[in-house]
Amino acid sequence: MKNILLLTTGGTISSRPTEEGLAPAGDKDPILSYLPTLKRVYNITVKGILNLDSSNIQPEEWQLIARSIYSEVKNYDGIVVSHGTDTMAYTASMVTYMLLGVPIPVVFTGAQLPIEHPLSDGIDNLRTAFAMAASGKKGVFLAFNRKIMLGCRSVKTHTTDFGAFDSVNYPLVGVVNGGGLSLEERFIPNISHEFALRDSLCRKVFLLKLTPGLDPAIFDMLMDMDYKGLVIEAFGSGGLHFIRRNLIEKLHAASQRGMAVVVNSQCLYESSNFALYQTGQKALEEGAIQSYDMTTEAAITKLMWALGNCQHLYGVRDIFSKNLAGEINEHM
């Protein structure tokens, strides 16, 4: 039997009703009572490392999760991390970068209903996650609704539907069906990085979604607040307005101040393409960094991670020009 470690962090899957709504159960995590059937298939060790609604999982928790995984990699065939759904895609993306080259499967999962609910999806999600953790396929993945996707391609797209996550701009790595766990190994990146814990990050990164007529002064505010990085969700293929309210001009000022500005599309699917329109070409001329077909979650965590590991803007640009773990289509 494969040796699998389950790291619990709270989230809906571990929650119980309280007077203030659902909240993680803590030391009496209900997941534990649903593991006997899985223990007949796997040697399971359980460690509780957090007890949080995922809305409260922040950069400090990302570091704790990555360090907890790193310290146990040599002891297990695979690791499952139970996590709240709301920020799971952010955590899975960041852990992908922090643990580049991880030699075993690391699989995030959770649930839309607490595992004690009679209609919970949590049991199926755990079964899928454990099957992937026992597969021997190295990398960081997310298992949900009998689907396996790369952690850095996952996006939460539904609030209550059991199909809560989509693999955006990238095929599913695998599915569970009548034949068991069926993997598409050609879609699992062959990561050549030497495995190491790289958990430094920069918290001074801001996400800005453009709206028509946005006041360019917001760039001045962010620079005055000493933000080091900015991810802009631009229009369509990467458009920013420059008539009357000149956002392009502010890109130049931000770049001169050493701020890394990454621009991606508000559109969930397909890629930004700065060469297509005048506005995009102007943005490139003033120092914008393209995110290509990355998800917003993968782009903002990659920027935080890059700024934490590079002292100069050219180093950040170099990192964003490379596909590290499947977050960018290599043909872009």
List the CATH number of the domain containing 225. 3.40.50.40
Structural domain span for residue 58 = 3-187
Per-residue pLDDT, 255? 83
The number of beta carbons lying within 10 Å of the beta carbon of residue 8 is: 22
Residues 212 and 169 in one domain: no
The pLDDT-based confidence of 239 (bands split at 50, 70, 90) is confident
- Give 292's DSSP letter: T
Residue 214 resides in a domain: yes
| pLDDT digits 0-9 by tens, 69-103 | 999 999 999 999 999 999 999 999 999 999 999 99
Residue 50 resides in a domain: yes
Q: Is the dihedral of CA 49, 50, 54, 58 positive or negative?
A: negative
Query: Which residue's entry shows tokens 């599915």?
Result: 175
Residue 273 to residue 232: CA distance in whole angstroms: 14
Residues 95 and 141 in one domain: yes
Residues 235 and 310 in one domain: yes
Residues 40 and 123 in one domain: yes
pTM for the full predicted model? 0.95
**Integer angstrom CA distances of residue 109 from 129, 156, 266, 314:** 6, 12, 26, 35
Q: Give the CATH number for residue 69.
A: 3.40.50.1170
Type of residue found at 248: I
Domain end position, chosen among 156, 187, 218: 187
Residues 25 and 136 in one domain: yes
Residues 130 and 233 in one domain: no
Q: What is the mean pLDDT of the chain?
A: 93
Residue 45 resides in a domain: yes
Between 205 and 290, name the one with better pLDDT. Answer: 205
Residue 330 resides in a domain: no
Count of structural domains, the chain? 2
Residue 310 resides in a domain: yes
Between 238 and 39, name the one with better pLDDT. Answer: 39
Residue 229 resides in a domain: yes
| 301: three-class secondary structure by DSSP | helix
Provide the phi-psi class of 10: left if phi over 0, else alpha when psi is between -120 and 50, else beta: left
| pLDDT digits 0-9 by tens, 46-71 | 999 999 999 999 999 999 999 999 99
Domain end position, chosen among 152, 187, 222: 187
Length of the chain equals: 332
| Enzyme catalytic residues | 12
* pLDDT-above-90 percentage for the chain: 79
Residues 133 and 229 in one domain: no
Type of residue found at 122: G
H-helix or E-strand containing 309? helix 296-309
The average pLDDT across 232-248 equals: 86
The number of beta carbons lying within 10 Å of the beta carbon of residue 34 is: 15
